[in-house]
Amino acid sequence: MTEIPLWGAIVFAVLILGGAGLTLLGCLGLARLNSFYARVHAPTLGTSFGMVGVVAASALYFSLVEARPVLHEILILVFVTVTTPVTLMLLSRAALHRDRSDGNPDVPQPGPRVPAPQDNTAEHKV
């Protein structure tokens, strides 16, 4: 086993605790908030920001242990960062569709559709 310098242990301990704290905060928001639409934001933010601390700590730890840069954690960072907001939007839109089709009075109905602007360049040709 390779000795880890004290500064490295302190840095990745702070990163792990910070990431775990943000994830815990997201879990508490999930438990405490009262509606689905409010609840869906808290774990998403906890997942995104908490994951950054944990992944950064992992990259630092294994870079120190192996004495070379370990960058494959960046793939984890990219995939979670991209998929979390997409999942949030899909869940929110599905819940909104369900609530509108059930006739829930607390959910705003869609507004009138605004037609797309027309391309009038053909009319102005001389």
**Interval 44-68: pLDDT, tens:** 877 788 889 999 999 988 888 888 8
Q: What is residue 114's predicted lDDT score, i.e. its pLDDT?
A: 77
- Burial of 104 (C-beta count, 10 Å sphere; 0-12/13-18/19+): exposed
For residue 42, give every residue at least 6 positions away whose Cβ sits within 8 Å of its Cβ, in sequence order, or none: 25, 26, 27, 28, 29, 30, 33
pLDDT score of 97 more than 70: yes
Residues 8/64, Cβ–Cβ less than 8 Å: yes
Global pTM reads 0.70
DSSP code of residue 68: S
pLDDT band at 1 (very low <50, low <70, confident <90, very high): low
Q: How many C-beta neighbours within 10 Å does residue 38 have?
A: 12
